[in-house]
Amino acid sequence: MPTMEGAGVRLRRSLGTRALSELDPFLLLDEIHSDRSEDYERGFPTHPHRGFETVTYMISGVMEHRDSLGQGGQLVAGSAQWMTAGHGIVHSEMPNPDRNLFWGLQLWVNLPAAQKLVKPRYQNVAPDRIPELSVKGAPVRLVAGTLGNERGPVDGISVAPTLLDLRLPAGGTFEHELPPEHTLFAYVLEGNAELGGTRRAARAGQIAVFGPGKVLTTRSASGARLLLVAGQKIGESIARRGPFVMNTQAELEQAYEDFRNGVLVSG
């Protein structure tokens, strides 16, 4: 679904819409993909978060980030950032100072009630820290989870996530075993891919949600690039509004009150 966020950033939202509000534990998936600077240059000025995690994955371009913890820097092409907002963080995200092609995605991941108010932390993963593997001729970047004997650099996340950037060559296939209780979806970045045992095809910009099962299967006649995302279900109530995700309406109101009173971050 085309939508606008931040100070006027045009993006495509496939998760966190009326049609697909959430996929426990995943809450939102946005893609920005444009070579028109007016689509993204206004960025995401200072805004708060509490109670969940944001995952930023860069394909092309640069994202400048600054926050209330004094952290900052650039997310470059091929890098990833897994930010645990926890008790609270206030930050800004500004795309592409060079005004060229920007292509990046952000995924929101819920936190269980017991961890919603943990101390915030970042896992900033440079491109050269992400293992690049080949599975039956298909290149795979392993951001989180395990593949064969390799493990992705993101760790210590409660939902035990898997995040793969898969490139299927023409005629290529890919299979990967996952815990059957994990939620699994694929987001097609380029091309067309047949997903699961039904061989239903998905094209670029579409999200495909898998039913229960242990083995992920995908194939492509003409070639495709996909993000494959999986994680353990949390199974708790969700109260969300704007930049906060809690378990109850009372907790949500408390988050807004803490932000208004300047104690969202400090507690």
Q: Is residue 247 part of a domain?
A: no
User: How do residues 165-190 score in pLDDT, each as one tens digit?
Assistant: 999 999 999 999 999 999 999 999 99
Residue type, 176: H
Residue type, 44: F
Structural domain boundaries, residue 228: 132-236
Q: How many domains does the chain have?
A: 2
Radius of gyration, CA atoms only, the chain: 18
Q: Is residue 206 part of a domain?
A: yes
pTM of the entire predicted model: 0.96
Q: Is residue 245 part of a domain?
A: no
d(CA 125, CA 74): 11
Q: How far is CA 184 from CA 5, 114, 252, 254, in A?
A: 26, 23, 28, 32
Average pLDDT over residues 197-223: 90
Q: Is residue 249 part of a domain?
A: no
Are 125 and 1 in a shared domain? yes
Are 87 and 111 in a shared domain? yes
Q: What is the pLDDT of residue 267?
A: 52
Average pLDDT over all residues of the chain? 94
Q: Is residue 165 part of a domain?
A: yes
Name which of 236, 21, 253, 267 is nearest 120 in CA terms: 267
Residue type, 225: R
Are 80 and 166 in a shared domain? no
Are 158 and 210 in a shared domain? yes
Are 115 and 150 in a shared domain? no
d(CA 259, CA 254): 8
Average pLDDT over residues 257-265: 94
Q: Is residue 65 part of a domain?
A: yes
